[in-house]
Amino acid sequence: MSSSSSRRRTSHITHRRAAGIALAGVAALVATAVQSGAASAAPTPHAVKLSPAHVAVKLTASQRAELIRDADGAKARTAKDLGLGAQEKLAVKDAVKDADGAVHTRYERTYAGLPVLGGDLIVDSAASGKTERVLKATNAAVKVASLTPKVAKAAVEQHAVQRAKALGSSKASVDQSSRKVIWAATGKPVLAYETVIGGFQDDGTPNQLHVITDASTGKELFRYQGVETGVGNTQYSGQVSLTTTQSGSTYTLTDGARGGHKTYNLNHGSSGTGTLFSQSNDTWGNGTTSNAATAAADAHYGAAMTWDFYKDTFGRNGIKNNGQAAYSRVHYGNAYVNAFWDDSCFCMTYGDGAGNNDPLTELDVAGHEMSHGVTSNTAGLNYSGESGGLNEATSDIFGTGVEWYANNATDKGDYLLGEKIDINGDGTPLRYMDKPSKDGASADSWYSGVGNKDVHYSSGIANHFFYLLSEGSGAKTINGVNYDSPTADGLPVTGIGRDKALQIWYRALTTKFTSTTNYASARTGTLAAAGELYGTSSTEYKAVQDAWAGVAVGSRPGGGDPPGGGSSFENTADVNIPDYGAAVTSSITVSGRTGNAPSNLQVSVDIVHSWSGDLQIDLVAPNGATARLKNSGYDSTPDVHQTYTVNASSVAANGTWKLRVQDKGPGDTGYIDGWKLTFP
C-alpha cells in the first residue's frame, strides 16, 4: 500500500487575541444577526440528569476562594511538576470542583516576571491530588534569548497608533504605556511589547486595540480589539418584576439579591459610570423611549435573568463565580447602534440605536454581552481566528440560553439573535443558528481559512453545532418559528435538547477550553465533557459527534453510509498512548464488503496529544501490510485531526484493520480519541 494525506482541518491563529495576564476585554454586539423563534418546550433548567461524579459542585464564595488559595500555595510545586523552567511561574485564575473530588485548576503564566500571553493552562487533578491531565494553550517551551528589547518603545507606540488610525479609529492615542510581555500564542515564544490604543472605533465604540510587536525586530505579531462586538435588541420584555433597593423615600436600581448589580444612566455620555437610576416610586419606565428609565428597566431585567440563568443552570455565582456583580450603563453616546461588555470596568453598556429610538437592551443581547465576561474569566478564548469565533458563539449560545430560561411571553425563546432590533432595517435578525449563512456572511460549516473571517461570522460554525445538538437537522417549527437546518455531510442529526447541550458547552468552556482552542479542539473538549456528564457510550456522546460532523468538524461514529453510496466503519473507544513507549493499536473489523479495498480508502484520525510531533501513525491492513500515515518530527501543535487517503487496492476489504500509533518523543502524552475507515 502507499498513502497520501489531505488536511481536513487547520488551526488559524494569525488573528487571535492573546489571553494573557491582565488583558482587558470589551465585547459588543453588532456584526451579525440571529433569527427569532422559540423552542419546543419551556426551559427546565433542573430537569437534566447528569453523571453525579462529573457535575461541578456549587461552591460558595469562601469555598471557591479556599480552592484558589490552596492552588496558589502549591503553585511553585505545580510548576516544577509540570516541568516549567526556572524563570516560569504560575498564577491561579480559577478552580472548578466536581462531585467526585476532582479539581480543574486554571493557571496563567509569567516568565522572568513578564506575562506570557498564550501561556495559560488547565490542570485536572483527581480527589487524591494526582494530576490526571494538563491542557495547554501552547506546548512550546517558554524561553527567550534576551529580555532586553532592541526596538525603542516610542517607535512601537507610534506604529500602534498608526495602525489604529488605518483601521478607522478616531482620537487614537496610547491608552496604556507599552509593557513587555512574552508572546507565545503563535509559535516560538518571543519577547514582545503589548500596546493598547484608546479613542473610538469607526462606529463610535470605545477603542481598546491591543497591538503585539516583536521587541527585537519591530514586526507586528498580532493585534486584537479588546472591545468585542455583539448583537442588541430594542424590543422590551413587557411588564416584569425588578429587584430594587429603597433608602428612605428613594428607590434605586440596585439589585441586592444578585451581588448588588446597579444600573446607571450615561445620559449620552461616553465615559465614566454615569448616574445611578433613582426615583421616589418603584415603577420604572413607561415602555417607550420617551422615559429614560425604560431602557434601564430592560437592562436591569436582563442582568437579573443572566445572573439567575447561570446560577440555576450551572450553579455559577455571578460572572466571576465569586458573588460579585457587574453593573450596567444605558444611554451611551448619541445614536450608538451597539452594546458591549468591558472587562476593564466589569460592566455592560448599551447604546440607544439609530435616532436614539431603539435601545439595544433586548434580553438575548444582555445575556450575550455578559457571557463575554464569563468567557474572559474562564477559558479566555482569544478574540480572533477560530478561537474568536468560539468566543462569539459562546455568547450567542448562552445569550440564547438566557432568553429561553426567562420564559418571557413577550420575548419568547428562539434560535435567533437580535431579532427585535432590526439593525439591518429589513426586519431580519442579526444571526441565525439553524443556518448561519442566512445572514449573508456567516459560515455554516468549517473549512480551511474560516479563521480569517470576522469572529461574528466564523462563530456560525459553533452556533450551527449548538442548534443541531439541541434540536437536530431538517425543517421544523419551534415556538412558532420555522427552521430548516442542513448538515455538511448530508446526514441527519437527532438533537438531545437544549438543556443538555448547554451543560456540555459550559463544562467544556470551564474545564477543557484554553485561550487558543480552535474548532478541532472544541470538538475534543465537548466530547470529553459529554463523556464525563453522560458516558462515552451514551446517546448524548454520539449526538456531539454527529453534530460536529454536521458542521464538517470530525467524523461520525461507525456504521453510517456517506452520501453517494459507500460505507464507513468507526471505533470511538479511547486508547491511551504511553509517553515515549511502545506502539498501541485500535482495531476496526470490516465486513459485508466484496473484493479488495479501494485505491482511495479514507482514514479519518482523531488523536488528542499535547505534542503532535511525537506521533508516528500507521494503518495496518488485515494481511499485515502497512501504510505510513504520519511520521514523527518537530511539530509543537497539539492533537491530530486529519483524513488520509490510502491506496489499499491490493488488500481484501474485509477483515480487521488497525490504527497503530507510537509516541517517539519524551515529555508529552495523549490518547486515540477515535478513527474511521470510509469506503467511497
Which residues are the active-site residues? 369, 456
User: Which residue from 484, 490, 450 is spatially nearest to 464, judged by alpha carbons?
Assistant: 484
Cβ neighbours for 589, distance < 8 A, ≥ 6 positions apart: 569, 655, 656, 657
Q: Crossing angle for the helix pair 385-406 and 292-314, nearest 10 degrees? A: 100
CB under 8 A, 24+ apart: contacts of 557-566: 557/674, 558/588, 558/676, 560/491, 562/489, 562/490, 562/491, 562/678, 562/680, 563/489, 563/490, 563/491, 564/680, 565/680, 566/678, 566/679, 566/680
Q: Comparing C-alpha atoms, which of 646, 621, 643, 672 is closest to residue 3?
A: 646
Query: CB-based contacts of 392: which residues, under 8 Å, 6+ apart?
Result: 228, 230, 455, 456, 458, 459
Are 56 and 97 in contact by the 8 Å Cβ rule? The answer is yes
In this structure, what are the phi and psi dihedrals at residue 383, rounded to the nearest 5 degrees? -90, 55
Helix, strand, coil % over all residues of the chain, rounded to 5:
25, 30, 45
Q: Rounded distance, CA 347 to CA 273, Å?
A: 9
Phi then psi for residue 80, to 5 deg, are -65, -45
Q: Roughly how many angstroms between the first and final C-alpha of the chain, as a whole number?
A: 17
Contact 639, 554 (CB under 8 A): no
Burial (0-12, 13-18, 19+ Cβ within 10 Å), 409: exposed
> Which region, left, alpha or beta, applies to residue 546 given φ > 0 means left and ψ of -120 to 50 means alpha?
alpha
Single out the residue of 440, 448, 439 nearest to residue 419, CA to CA.
439
Whole-angstrom CA distances from 555 to 506, 542, 549, 558, 643 are: 22, 11, 5, 9, 9
Q: Of 588, 651, 575, whose CA–CA distance to 615 is shortest?
A: 575
H or E element that contains 262: strand 261-265
Could you give the CA distance from residue 348 to residue 172 in angstroms, rounded to a whole number? 23
Alpha carbons 172 and 419: distance in angstroms, whole number: 33
Helices (H), 114-232: 153-166
Q: Which three cell numbers stand for residue 364?
A: 438575548
Q: How far is CA 667 from CA 184, 410, 544, in A?
A: 19, 56, 31
Q: Which cell goes with 315?
A: 450553579
Euclidean distance between CA atoms 47 and 266, whole angstroms:
41
The Cα-based distances of 465 to 95, 385, 523, 593 in angstroms read 27, 18, 10, 33
Beta pairing, strands 170-183 & 114-117:
parallel
Beta strands in 610-654 (DSSP E): 615-620, 626-630, 640-647
Give residues with Cβ within 8 angstroms of 400, minimum separation 6. Answer: 34, 364, 367, 413, 414, 415, 417, 433, 466
